[in-house]
Amino acid sequence: MSRLDFDVAIIGGGPTGCVLALLLARYSAHPERIVLLQSGHASQYGFTPDGDPRVLALNHGSRVLLESLGAWPTEAAQIQTIHVSQKGRLGRTVIRHSDFHVPQLGSVVRYAHLHHSLMQAVEASGVQVRTGLAAQVTMQDATSVSIVQDGQHLSAALAVQADGQPNTPVQRAYTQVALLTRARASLPRKGWAFERFTDQGPLAVLPHPHASDAQSIVWCCSPARAHLLQAMTPRDFSAALGDMFGTRLGTFSVDGSVTPVPLRMNVRSNTIDGRCVAIGNAAQTLHPVAGQGLNLGLRDTAALAIACRDWLADPTQDVGASLNHFKHMRQPDRQLTAILTDSMARTFTSGLAPLEHLAGLALLGMDALPIARAPLARHLLQGLRR
């Protein structure tokens, strides 16, 4: 067999692609035989990595992983308490870091800062980075995968799709748009994150790494309402936000632009296709409620790196067994997280009063009985690990 150009080609230099590159570089004796193919073009949401306005809530496990790779951004806000409530109905629960005996429940970082730290670490790791137009798998056979980027062809023993786009029909197009912005609160509460369920979708108010009184807002609402909100002056938008959220943080004053993001769920039932494997958003794109997407994607990434560790010592061997092991290891966590986020995104917007009351009672029950909220909270905070 003629020697392939690379052992592993990773398509997509978002957070999951970068983390995989760093983990594989650590496990491989030849990191230069790993290539990260990044597109200089905007992502599916229309953002370039440096201009991506997303702010990400990452759990403790994700933070430990990123720190171990030397890629934790310098600016991060801590979450010590999470307050969950429902607008206009009974029910609220509070999850505290002390319930889980951890110093914090999670941290909030900017996508753009995380991406910058990750790219710096990848560039120092020995992995080859190529930036150009979108890379594409053109064919594969029993021993290799062929990929083209900018008219240049390359071959690899394994291709990892980390481009954030599952190639499957959309399973759920939510009738919700997420409006992303930043606001200042007149009565900020250090370390508190809020998830408020409304009849149009969840509203998340998180501590923003920018400043101690800054809040990151992810406001999910109907496309029509989003349209109206976007057309408002900052003052009117701030007042509408206060109406929806309540007065727990005093009054809001929006100090950033408002960016709309359409929401959908796409979960690939099979993440393996011969010598190609999908991770992160390319394997599953979820509703952002409860901030699960990247946390889940990082668990995919760590599992794939571990599954391929022995194979990397001799990449001329068949990679099939490693990929199957990865797929089976990840299936329960992927499915459970997709079901949980999908239900959370829709239960409170069903328009069915009994169901919404029941959900409110469940929140109340969780608040009264720590034992009842522990399994859900633990999954959202840590995921299903094996």
Q: CA 291 → CA 37, 106, 148, distances in Å?
A: 26, 10, 34
Choice from 22, 57, 214, 363 touching ligand FAD (CB under 6 A)? 57
102 in Cβ contact with 86 (< 8 Å): no
Beta carbon of residue 340, minimum distance to ligand FAD (angstroms, whole number): 13
Q: Which residue has the tokens 């990082």?
A: 298
Beta carbon of residue 206, minimum distance to ligand FAD (angstroms, whole number): 7
Task: Report the C-alpha gap between 196 and 205 in whole angstroms.
Answer: 8
Q: Which of residues 332-351 bind ligand FAD (CB under 6 A)?
A: none
> What are 105's two structure tokens?
């429940």
Beta carbon of residue 300, minimum distance to ligand FAD (angstroms, whole number): 8
Q: Which of residues 193-232 bind ligand FAD (CB under 6 A)?
A: 218
Residue of minimal CB distance from ligand FAD? 14
Query: How many Cβ atoms sit within 10 Å of the Cβ of residue 377?
Result: 20
Interaction mask 229-258, ligand FAD, x per CB under 6 A: ------------------------------
Q: Which of residues 272-311 bind ligand FAD (CB under 6 A)?
A: 280-282, 288, 291-295, 297
For residue 357, give the H/E element and its range.
helix 353-368
Beta carbon of residue 199, minimum distance to ligand FAD (angstroms, whole number): 20
295 in Cβ contact with 58 (< 8 Å): yes
Q: Which is nearer to ligand FAD, 11 or 308 (CB)?
A: 11
For the chain, how long is the longest CA-to-CA vector? 68
Beta carbon of residue 28, minimum distance to ligand FAD (angstroms, whole number): 20
341 in Cβ contact with 67 (< 8 Å): no
Q: Is 73 in the site for ligand FAD (CB under 6 A)?
A: no
Task: Report the C-alpha gap between 19 and 114 in whole angstroms.
Answer: 11
Q: Is 109 in the site for ligand FAD (CB under 6 A)?
A: no
Q: Is 21 in the site for ligand FAD (CB under 6 A)?
A: no
Q: CA 39 → CA 21, 45, 130, 132, 234, distances in Å?
A: 15, 14, 8, 5, 34
Choice from 6, 13, 197, 276 touching ligand FAD (CB under 6 A)? 13
Q: Is 360 in the site for ligand FAD (CB under 6 A)?
A: no
Beta carbon of residue 278, minimum distance to ligand FAD (angstroms, whole number): 9
**Do the bridges between strand 6-11 and strand 34-39 make them parallel or antiparallel, or are there none, so unpaired?**
parallel
Kindly list the residues in this chain that would bind ligand FAD in the complex (CB under 6 A). 11-17, 37-39, 43, 49, 54, 56-58, 134-135, 162-164, 178, 180, 218, 261, 280-282, 288, 291-295, 297
